Structure 1
Amino acid sequence: MMRKHFFLSAIASLAVFACAYAQSAAPTNDVRIDALMSRYTGNVAGASLIVVKDGKAVVRRGFGYANLEEHTKAGPETDYRLASVSKQFTAACILLLKQDGKLRLEDPVRKWLPELPASDGKITLRNLLTHTGGLIDYEDLIPADRTAQIDDNDVLRMIAAQNRLYFEPGSAHRYSNGGFVLLGLIVERASGTGLADFMKKRIFQPLGMEHTLMYEHGRGPEVANRAYGYTETKGKWTRTDQSVTSATRGDGGIYSSVDDLAKWDAALYTNKLLNAESRKLAFTPTEPIADPDVDFGFGWRLSGDTIWHSGESIGFNNVIIRWPKQHIAVIILTNRNEFQPYPLALTIGESFLDR
């Protein structure tokens, strides 16, 4: 769900475009957005975009198609698989349980998941939240010939069978999808409630995120207004919506829309869900950090004045970028493998900043 430095080449190419574009006659917002989002326009797998400034949507658009086979256009209400953008919600669940007095960030992970081996004895919940636990990547443990999807309990069993770590907990940083799968299981054990229900009752319903859910195939409601993932090969779009790892939850299982994520962005300025202490924890850089340009909070990346996270899985590429000092957010959700939208969202957002 993460490719290190995935956006560097895209930033360079987009910068060339943006520079040339800036030299042309000053366009209206609609024309400028149309130009920047042109790769998603037409009979192609699409995208949804929202730009929020001072609590109001100043851009709210859909491009291309959410479902190519049924010719369903993408719109602001279209629900996409968030992939790793889901992590900030899993982290918020842990912080809510901390506020409830149900757990502590310094709790050893084995307090909640005693199935884990002795090698994991020093890993804390804080380590999992900040990718500093040293867990072995579960993706590397999946048999090459496996075709059935794995679930969270499969991930727990695979990690529990590894009596080893990449490094001493807290001594280094390595992005870990498995850590957030385990956090999702810990939410269930600490709350006594299923992860999907906990998120619905404690986050989605209070914020009016009516079309957002932690998707559990065969166990819960289907996704309304669903976008399906696609891959383009030699000009032909093929549906590539699910993979072996698409059924795990805490690291990437939420479906949502840009409309609903704008409500989430608004809540992060208030005490409606997370109190001031929790929000400070979520948005504070944690050492050590492997990348000098990107710090990590709890389910968020921190770069300069921005708080952001991307999400990619087969058929989906997404990003949310927030400029909290200027009350601006840009959210782009897409249903295609090709092109990382981070540099595009950055370019769009910077055009709305007060200079």
Structure 2
Amino acid sequence: MQASVDTLMRDYTGDVPGAAVLVLRDGQPLLRRGYGLADLETGTPVTPDTNFRLASVTKQFTAAAILLLAEDGKLSLDDPVRKWLPSLPASDDAITLRHLLTHASGLIDYEDLMAPDATGQDTLDQVHDIDVLHLLEGEDRLYFAPGTGYRYSNGAYALLALVVGKASGQDFATFLRERIFKPLGMDGTVAYENGISTVAHRAYGHSLVDGRWVRTDQSSTSAVLGDGGIYSSIDDLARWDAALYDDRLLSDAMRADAFTLHNPIHDEADVDGYGYGWRIHGEVLWHSGETIGGRNVIIRWPQRHLTVVVLTNRNDPEPYRLAMKIAALYLPDAPARD
């Protein structure tokens, strides 16, 4: 199998931005391998403990933080978001935490509210979760009435990170570390804050520009934690995956709720609907993540106890189809996407 995966990963091999690949069955790694370089400037190779910026794969951790607080009795998923963030406009009265979790809020995309000169690579002024709140405070319009539609919302998950802070009395990064990462032994995983935390064994993002790879590691939105700010490795994600099968972190009932299709989706390939931080397609739970200079995916077949993770530090290609081809090697009846 490794030789077949190596063939699929040939474009990530050598002195190019690389990838880490994990295949788990019944909690055991069938494949655990790095390809290419984590940093072209230093020639550092990708290994299984290389930490990549997860981008939107972060959302499952943000969702889990909210669910932990619900189990603690600190909040309810049906709480209005304005109970926790009262500075939001009255037009958001009907938005609940559940709507935020399932992209059913109708919130305006915060990226579209940023000044044109505040976007792009290497921007000096980065947006943080609290800045997302401030951007949305001035918007008295929604794309649709809460609960009546689906529109993927990074802003919703930035607001959820702020709610975690309000309900727990800890900042979001500390809550994640104390309630999720440390208990699960995810020692290298961090919600990265420049000047506060560090990322060990860090992969740096790269983009192909005019035929050569250049470092493109940060953008104006890279500091927003709730929608995409976690760094992790395939080794730590193996620990996370294991916790999704039992009650060591969340109760059986809460996990089942997270993996339930709450909001149908009709216009995205390989997606029937959204749970809490997970896309759902038949028996498959998955999520992708895209950031400047990096693209990732985690795909789970819980009933078959198989998981495939592909983390990359390059802007292209999107690795979902690659991960499905890897999965097809281990699940002969799984469709390999072209």
Q: Same fold (TM over 0.5)?
A: yes
Correspondence 1:136-175 to 2 at 5 A: 136-146=108-118, 147=123, 148-175=125-152
Q: Deviations over 1:86-115 (max 9, x none)?
A: 000000000000000000010000000000
Displacement of 1:153 after TM fit?
Answer: 1.1
Match for residue 234 of structure 2?
Answer: 258
Correspondence 1:28-43 to 2 at 5 A: 29-43=1-15
Q: Does 1:197 align with 2:169?
A: no
Given candidates 285, 296, 319, the residue that maps to 1:307 is 285
Q: Does 1:330 align with 2:302?
A: no
TM-score normalised to structure 1 length: 0.90
The whole-number CA distance in structure 2 between the counterparts of 1:236 and 1:288 is: 41
Given candidates 167, 189, 204, the residue that maps to 1:212 is 189
In structure 2, the residue corresponding to 1:157 is in which secondary structure?
Answer: helix
Displacement of 1:156 after TM fit?
Answer: 0.3
The whole-number CA distance in structure 2 between the counterparts of 1:47 and 1:289 is: 30
Match for residue 94 of structure 2?
Answer: 122
Q: Does 1:55 align with 2:13?
A: no
The whole-number CA distance in structure 2 between the counterparts of 1:151 and 1:272 is: 31
The whole-number CA distance in structure 2 between the counterparts of 1:36 and 1:112 is: 47
The whole-number CA distance in structure 1 between the counterparts of 2:44 and 2:227 is: 28
The whole-number CA distance in structure 1 between the counterparts of 2:278 and 2:228 is: 13
Displacement of 1:289 after TM fit?
Answer: 2.6
Q: Does 1:81 align with 2:53?
A: yes
Q: Deviations over 1:120-148 (max 9, x none)?
A: 00000000000000000000001011231
- Structure 1: gaps (5+ residues): 1-28
**RMSD value over aligned CA atoms?**
1.0
Q: What amino acid sits opposite 1:245 in the alignment? A: T
- Which consecutive aligned stretches of 4+ in structure 1 deviate over 6 angstroms post-superposition? none
In structure 2, the residue corresponding to 1:291 is in which secondary structure?
Answer: coil
Match for residue 5 of structure 1?
Answer: none
Displacement of 1:354 after TM fit?
Answer: 6.4
Is the CA contact (8 Å cut-off) linking 1:309 and 1:321 kept in structure 2? yes
Is the CA contact (8 Å cut-off) linking 2:263 and 2:275 kept in structure 1? no
- Structure 2: gaps (5+ residues): 334-338
Is the CA contact (8 Å cut-off) linking 1:150 and 1:245 kept in structure 2? yes
Displacement of 1:287 after TM fit?
Answer: 3.0
Match for residue 209 of structure 2?
Answer: 233
TM-score normalised to structure 2 length: 0.95
Q: What amino acid sits opposite 1:47 in the alignment? A: A
In structure 2, the residue corresponding to 1:263 is in which secondary structure?
Answer: helix
Match for residue 345 of structure 1?
Answer: 323
Match for residue 105 of structure 1?
Answer: 77
Q: What amino acid sits opposite 2:163 in the alignment? A: I
Is the CA contact (8 Å cut-off) linking 1:230 and 1:336 kept in structure 2? yes
Match for residue 10 of structure 1?
Answer: none
The whole-number CA distance in structure 2 between the counterparts of 1:311 and 1:287 is: 20
In structure 2, the residue corresponding to 1:237 is in which secondary structure?
Answer: strand
In structure 1, the residue corresponding to 2:308 is in which secondary structure?
Answer: strand
The whole-number CA distance in structure 2 between the counterparts of 1:153 and 1:290 is: 32
Is the CA contact (8 Å cut-off) linking 1:134 and 1:169 kept in structure 2? yes
The whole-number CA distance in structure 2 between the counterparts of 1:116 and 1:288 is: 27
Given candidates 35, 40, 45, the residue that maps to 1:68 is 40
The whole-number CA distance in structure 2 between the counterparts of 1:53 and 1:199 is: 26
The whole-number CA distance in structure 1 between the counterparts of 2:332 and 2:313 is: 31
Count of residues paired in the alignment: 326
Is the CA contact (8 Å cut-off) linking 1:326 and 1:354 kept in structure 2? no
Q: What amino acid sits opposite 1:222 in the alignment? A: T
In structure 2, the residue corresponding to 1:252 is in which secondary structure?
Answer: coil
Is the CA contact (8 Å cut-off) linking 1:130 and 1:299 kept in structure 2? yes
Is the CA contact (8 Å cut-off) linking 1:326 and 1:353 kept in structure 2? no
Q: Deviations over 1:298-338 (max 9, x none)?
A: 00000122100000010110000001011000001000001
The whole-number CA distance in structure 2 between the counterparts of 1:328 and 1:256 is: 20
